[in-house]
Amino acid sequence: MIMKIGIVTDAHYCDLELLGGDRKPRYAFSAVKAAFEEFKKQGVQVVASLGDMAHYNDGKDESLKHLKEISEMMNSYGIPIYHCMGNHDSEIVSGKGYAEISGFNVAPAVFEDDEVRLIFVDASYWPNGKPYEAPNVDWTQSLVPEHELDWLKKQLDTEKRTVVFTHQNIDTNINEDHIISNADEINGILADYGVSHVFQGHYHYGAENIINGIPYTTLRAMCLDDSENYLIAEV
């Protein structure tokens, strides 16, 4: 049986027309809405939200307002949503707080059926193993801590096809600033367990690479002024 997954990332939604030269946060809201319209039309079973759906801007209260607006719109389509915390999400609120506000299932988390297991990984930690604490975050610094690697191995120990999702990048072929500090260790684990595919966000311009025979897809950011930066994956 094939599972159909809708994937979105990096909307950076806030009340700005332009951010950082090429990000269009207001536009991103309509782009995400268009993606969900297509997800509903195509019968997507679950949505993977790979982080930074709202952008920290004009303080915490304003940022929380934007998070509520975009998450309410996404939830209105009635499709289960699983979310990997992005660095900008972590500037606003903790993972627990994000789950309470958005209603999303926040990583570390698993969605599965009889044949496929989707594993959502949280790399919202400093390289010394301490978790991010809002608003103190550095987009170039991330880690999957030891206790979560143990959890990941347990989730990968299955006869089901496995697919892994992160915000920050495990793909070591892209810009170094975006890569999780223990990516090599993680890639070794994924290879040992024969993961089917890895999907990531964070690096806005997207990438496709193969590591240890596993395809790694980094999606383009929804805040870029392109027509369809979402993905419907069949696994």
pTM comes to 0.95
Q: Tell me the β-bridge partners of 13.
A: 54
Which pLDDT score, from 0 to 100, does residue 23 have?
67
pLDDT tens-digit readout, 98-154: 999 999 999 999 999 999 999 999 999 999 999 999 999 999 999 999 999 999 999
Residue 56 is predicted with a pLDDT of 80
pLDDT of residue 22: 66
Q: What is the pLDDT of residues 167-196, one digit of tens each?
A: 999 999 999 999 999 999 999 999 999 999
Tokens 């949280």 identify what position? 122
Binned at pLDDT 50, 70 and 90, residue 227 comes out as low
Which domains does the chain show, CATH number per domain? 4-234 (3.60.21.10)
CA 148 to each of CA 63, 67, 121, 167, 222: distance values in angstroms, whole numbers, following the listed order: 28, 26, 8, 15, 28
Quickly count helices (H) and strands (E) in the chain: 6, 11
- The one-letter amino acid code at 50 reads L
Mean pLDDT over 206-217 rounds to: 98
Residue 161 belongs to what H/E stretch? strand 161-165
Mean pLDDT, range 54-70, rounded to an integer = 88
Q: What is the pLDDT of residue 27?
A: 83
Q: Mean pLDDT over all residues of the chain?
A: 94
Read off the tokens for 102.
């958005």
Query: What's the DSSP call for residue 86?
Result: P
Q: Rg of the chain's alpha carbons, rounded to an integer? A: 16
Q: How far apart are CA 83 and CA 106, in angstroms?
A: 5
Residue 155 has pLDDT above 90, yes or no: yes
Which tokens in the block code for residue 113? 């059926």
